C-alpha cells in the first residue's frame, strides 16, 4: 500500500512539474508583435470583404434552397416573403446603416493597401452629383472603400454630401447579399434607382458610377490604363435630365491589385467571356493575388499596393428634360476632357510614370 501511495505521489509531483515547466516556457515565448497583429487584422479584414463579394450571395441562395427540403423549410419561405415585400426598396434609396459604414474593421481594410481619398474641389450640398469612378479594376476596391465606408473621411472632406455607389441590379436579387449591399449605401445601376436619388431624395446626393463596368475588368492589368467610356453616355443623359453636376474621379493603383490572365482576341476563352458579357451583363475573368499567409503564393487577397482616389472638379450641367443627342455628345466629350486632365495632372503624384497614357 505504501508503495502505491509513494508511486502516486511521485506521478502527481511529476505532473505538477510538467505543468509548471510548460507554463514557464509559454510565458517566456516571444509574443506576436503589435505590428504583426495589425498586419493580420488588415489581411483578415480584406479577406472577409473579398469572400463576401464573391461568395455571400451564391452561398446564401444555395443554403436557402437546401433548407426547403429540410424541416427548416419555413426559414426559406419567410425570407422569400420578405424579399417579395421588400422588392422595390433598392430602387428607392435602399436601407443604409451608419453603424456598418462606420464599422471599425474598415479602418483595417483601408490600412492594408493603404487607400486614400484626395479632394481637389468643393462639392456644395445644394446640388446633386454623378461621380464617374475610373477604372473598374477587378473588384472596385477604391470605389468601395471611399464611397461605401467612412474610413477615408468622405463625410469630413465633403460635408453634407451622401455618397451612393451603384452596382449590378442582379446583386440585389441574391438573398442576404442584398441586405449587405443596401446597408452600405449601394444601389442598383438602373434609371429608376438613380432617378430616385437625384430627384426625390433632396439635394446633397452623390451617385458614384463605375462607368466602365465589369467589361472593363477584361483590360485590367498593371501598367495599362484602358477605359471603356467612348460609347457609355447614359450617365451624361441622366445628369442632364436631373441637372446633376458631373464629377470625374480616378483611382490610381486600382489596376495593380491583381494579376489577370488575359486571353488574346479571337481565342476561344475570350469568345466565352464575350458571350457571358452579352448574356448576363458581365464577363468572368481569371485573376489571382496573394495568399493569406504568403505574398509569394497565389490566393484571393489583393496585393498590398497604395490606392489613391482623386475626386476632380464638378462640371456644371443644366437641367434639360429631353436632351438631344448632340447635347449629350457635347457634355460627354467635356467629361472625357476633364477626366484626361485629372489623370495627367495627378499620375506622377501617385505612382505612375510621366509617359503613362490613358486609353479610352
* DSSP class per residue in 90-131: GGGT----HHHHT-THHHHHHHHTTEEEEE-S---TTS-EEE
Cα angle: 193, vertex 136, 101; to 5 degrees:
55
Q: Quick check: is 326 in a domain? A: yes
**Side-chain-side CA neighbours of residue 259 (13 Å):** 10
- Residue 222's SS3 state is coil
Cα angle: 195, vertex 96, 82; to 5 degrees:
90
- Cα 14 to Cα 9: distance, rounded to the nearest angstrom: 8
Q: Quick check: is 25 in a domain? A: no
Which residues touch 336 (CB under 8 Å, ≥6 apart)? Answer: 229, 360
Is residue 322 packed enough to be buried (19+ CB in 10 Å), middle (13-18) or exposed (0-12)?
A: exposed
CATH of the domain at 288: 3.40.1130
Q: Quick check: is 64 in a domain? A: yes
Looking at the structure of the chain, the number of domains it has is 1
Considering only CA atoms, which of 218, 199, 240 is closest in space to residue 322?
240
- Cα 227 to Cα 134: distance, rounded to the nearest angstrom: 7
C-alpha cell at 109: 481594410
Give the distance from CA 163 to its chain's centroid. Answer: 14
Q: What is the pLDDT along the chain (360 residues), one digit of tens a residue?
A: 444 444 444 443 444 555 566 545 544 555 556 678 899 999 999 999 999 999 999 999 999 999 999 999 999 999 999 999 999 999 998 999 988 888 999 999 999 999 999 999 999 999 999 999 999 888 999 999 999 999 999 999 999 999 999 998 989 999 999 999 999 999 999 999 999 999 988 899 999 999 988 777 766 555 568 898 999 999 999 999 999 999 999 999 998 898 877 767 777 777 777 777 666 656 677 788 999 998 899 999 999 999 999 999 999 999 998 999 999 999 999 999 999 999 999 999 998 888 888 888
- Cα 333 to Cα 38: distance, rounded to the nearest angstrom: 45
pLDDT of residue 223: 59
Q: Quick check: is 9 in a domain? A: no
Q: Residue 203: which domain range? A: 35-349
What letter would DSSP give residue 224? B
pLDDT of residue 31: 52
- Cα 111 to Cα 248: distance, rounded to the nearest angstrom: 25
184: left (phi over 0), alpha (psi -120 to 50) or beta: alpha
Q: Determine contact, residues 158/129, Cβ cutoff 8 Å.
A: no
- According to DSSP, the residues that pair with 188 across neighbouring strands are 167
**Rounded to the nearest 5°, which phi and psi values hold at 24?**
-60, -45
Q: Quick check: is 170 in a domain? A: yes
Q: Quick check: is 23 in a domain? A: no
- Cα 106 to Cα 40: distance, rounded to the nearest angstrom: 14
Could you identify the residue written with the cell 442576404? 176
Q: Quick check: is 8 in a domain? A: no
- Residue 246's SS3 state is strand
What is the pTM assigned to this prediction? 0.85
Q: Quick check: is 24 in a domain? A: no
Amino acid at each position: 500500500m505504501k508503495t502505491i501511495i509513494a508511486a502516486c505521489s511521485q506521478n502527481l509531483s511529476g505532473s505538477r512539474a510538467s505543468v509548471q515547466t510548460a507554463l514557464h516556457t509559454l510565458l517566456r515565448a516571444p509574443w506576436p508583435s503589435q505590428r504583426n497583429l495589425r498586419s493580420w487584422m488588415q489581411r483578415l479584414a480584406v479577406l472577409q470583404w473579398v469572400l463576401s463579394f464573391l461568395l455571400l450571395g451564391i452561398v446564401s441562395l444555395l443554403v436557402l434552397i437546401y433548407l426547403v427540403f429540410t424541416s427548416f423549410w419555413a426559414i426559406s419561405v419567410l425570407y422569400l416573403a420578405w424579399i417579395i415585400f421588400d422588392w422595390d426598396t433598392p430602387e428607392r434609396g435602399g436601407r443604409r446603416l451608419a453603424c456598418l459604414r462606420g464599422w471599425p474593421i474598415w479602418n483595417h481594410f483601408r490600412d492594408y493597401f493603404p487607400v486614400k481619398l484626395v479632394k481637389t474641389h468643393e462639392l456644395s450640398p445644394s446640388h446633386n452629383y454623378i461621380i464617374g469612378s475610373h477604372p473598374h479594376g477587378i473588384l472596385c476596391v477604391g470605389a468601395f472603400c471611399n464611397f461605401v465606408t467612412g474610413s477615408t473621411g468622405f463625410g469630413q472632406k465633403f460635408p453634407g454630401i451622401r455618397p451612393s455607389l451603384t452596382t449590378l441590379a442582379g446583386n440585389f436579387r441574391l438573398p442576404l447579399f442584398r441586405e449587405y449591399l443596401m446597408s452600405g449605401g449601394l444601389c442598383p445601376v438602373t434609371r429608376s434607382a438613380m432617378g430616385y436619388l437625384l430627384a426625390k431624395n433632396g439635394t446633397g446626393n452623390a451617385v458614384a458610377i463605375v462607368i466602365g463596368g465589369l467589361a472593363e475588368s477584361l483590360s485590367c492589368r498593371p501598367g495599362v490604363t484602358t477605359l471603356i467610356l467612348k460609347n457609355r453616355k447614359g450617365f451624361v443623359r441622366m445628369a442632364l435630365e436631373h441637372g446633376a453636376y458631373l464629377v470625374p474621379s480616378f483611382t490610381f493603383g486600382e489596376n495593380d491589385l491583381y494579376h489577370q490572365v488575359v486571353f488574346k482576341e479571337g481565342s476561344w476563352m475570350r469568345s466565352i467571356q464575350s458571350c457571358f458579357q452579352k448574356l448576363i451583363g458581365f464577363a468572368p475573368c481569371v485573376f489571382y493575388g496573394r495568399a493569406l499567409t504568403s505574398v509569394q503564393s497565389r490566393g484571393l487577397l489583393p496585393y498590398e499596393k497604395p490606392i489613391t482616389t482623386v475626386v476632380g472638379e464638378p462640371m456644371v450641367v443644366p437641367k434639360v428634360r429631353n436632351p438631344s443627342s448632340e447635347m449629350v455628345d457635347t457634355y460627354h466629350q467635356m467629361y472625357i476632357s476633364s477626366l484626361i486632365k485629372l489623370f495627367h495632372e495627378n499620375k506622377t503624384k501617385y505612382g505612375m510614370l510621366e509617359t503613362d497614357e490613358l486609353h479610352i
